[in-house]
Amino acid sequence: MLYPLKFIPAVKDYLWGGRGLEKIGKTLPAGIVAESWEISGHPDGPGIVADGPFIGRTLPELVQELGRDLIGHALPESALFTFPLLVKFIDANDRLSVQVHPDDAYAHANENGSLGKTEMWVVLAAEPGAKLVYGLKPGITKAQFASAVETGDISSCLHEVTAVKGDVFDIPAGLVHAIGAGLIIAEIQQSSNTTYRVFDYDRTDAAGNKRPLHIAKALDVIDFSLPSGSGGTGIPSDNGKGARQTSLVENRYFVVERCDVNGMLFGENDGSRFVLLIMTEGSATISYPDGERKVRMGESLLLPAALGSYRMDGIFTALRAWVP
């Protein structure tokens, strides 16, 4: 019964969103769409299986039903209760708040036992000159940052970089960051929705209310020893069948690679761990032991751990992610 699982995404209408996800093939509901939670077991937006024998099940329900056949025998038991990763597409029609995320220990102690939030970004589209905040300027101390927040001079502390399509950014817990206007991003992260806003440009929502800031908690969790950076693209390898695989980010929570394919891409889900597949360009046919299905740009699939061997044929670019 196992097959590649597609979900009905949970969409979020945060005030900085727009209609940009249509550019990557998404069919959107009316109004502002800031985020599309493609694969999510988080209670703030669980995905619902879109088709096949498990249609209508939420991802948490499916984890309970399939257990290790879905998540894999190599993952810790905690993954049977909280699906560990979350995949999003983000449309920054306007800039996001300057923010930081806690690590596991701080989130567990201060956010009702939730996970921390380490994430990574891949830029899918960028308007000319689009920027993002990636850490603090070298040498900024906690006292200097706190003073800048209090006086409204936070921009003097922020390390900004220009972003272009294909850029990759590793965002560990404790790193100050912000996505700038004019960017569409794929995000792979821990399954957490905990964000500490430091600055939100004095914006108000439709009701005229400012969004809350979380200065004290942010100052608790910012790691002032983290270096600022400029992103990276990794080192590619070629499988000889028209697929080039590039390692993008590896940490204790997830491994992410980019697959540029004009031919065939092979995979083997041997029962040890699930694989997430995020299509960013083109289309493919994925063949697996019990069938095949089409997948195209803007779609994401969860490949169960016990799926077995699979092959993808087509001309496409995809992100492939798993828990190490």
Q: Is residue 301 part of a domain?
A: yes
User: Where are the extended beta strands (E) located within the chain?
Assistant: 7-8, 10-12, 35-39, 48-49, 85-92, 98-100, 119-126, 131-136, 158-162, 168-171, 177-179, 183-190, 196-199, 236-238, 243-250, 255-269, 275-288, 291-296, 300-303, 308-322
Q: Is residue 154 part of a domain?
A: yes
Question: What is the C-alpha separation between 288 and 274, in angstroms, rounded?
Answer: 14
Q: Mean pLDDT score of the chain, rounded to an integer?
A: 94
| Torsion angle (degrees, nearest 10) of CA 20, 29, 16, 160 | -40
For residue 239, what pLDDT is reported? 59
Domain that holds residue 212: 7-221
Question: What is the C-alpha separation between 56 and 47, in angstroms, rounded?
Answer: 9
**Of 194, 221, 248, which marks where a domain is finished?**
221
Question: What is the C-alpha separation between 238 and 223, in angstroms, rounded?
Answer: 37
For residue 231, what pLDDT is reported? 53
Ramachandran area for residue 190 (φ above 0: left; ψ -120 to 50: alpha; else beta) = beta
In this structure, are 192 and 105 located in the same domain?
yes
Q: Which residues are catalytic?
A: 197
Count structural domains, the chain. 2
For residue 242, what pLDDT is reported? 83
Q: Give per-residue pLDDT as tens, 117-153.
A: 999 999 999 999 999 999 999 999 999 999 999 998 9
For residue 229, what pLDDT is reported? 61
In this structure, are 34 and 98 located in the same domain?
yes
Using only C-alpha atoms, the chain has a radius of gyration, in whole angstroms, of 20
For residue 37, what pLDDT is reported? 98
To the question of pTM greater than 0.85 for the whole model, the response is yes
Beta carbons within 8 Å of 20's beta carbon, 6+ residues apart: 91, 92, 93, 125, 184
Q: Is residue 228 part of a domain?
A: no
Name the token pair of 54: 């498990």
**Of 187, 221, 255, which marks where a domain is finished?**
221
In this structure, are 121 and 202 located in the same domain?
yes
In this structure, are 289 and 146 located in the same domain?
no
The mean per-residue pLDDT over the stretch 84-91 comes to: 98
In this structure, are 272 and 303 located in the same domain?
yes
For residue 209, what pLDDT is reported? 86
In this structure, are 155 and 304 located in the same domain?
no
pLDDT at 227 over 80: no
Q: Give per-residue pLDDT as tens, 169-209.
A: 999 999 999 999 999 999 999 999 999 999 999 888 778 88
Name the token pair of 157: 């502390």
Q: Give per-residue pLDDT as tens, 272-302.
A: 999 999 999 999 999 999 999 999 999 999 9
Q: Give per-residue pLDDT as tens, 229-275.
A: 655 555 555 555 788 999 999 999 999 999 999 999 999 999 999 99
Q: Is residue 40 part of a domain?
A: yes
CATH number at residue 282: 2.60.120.10
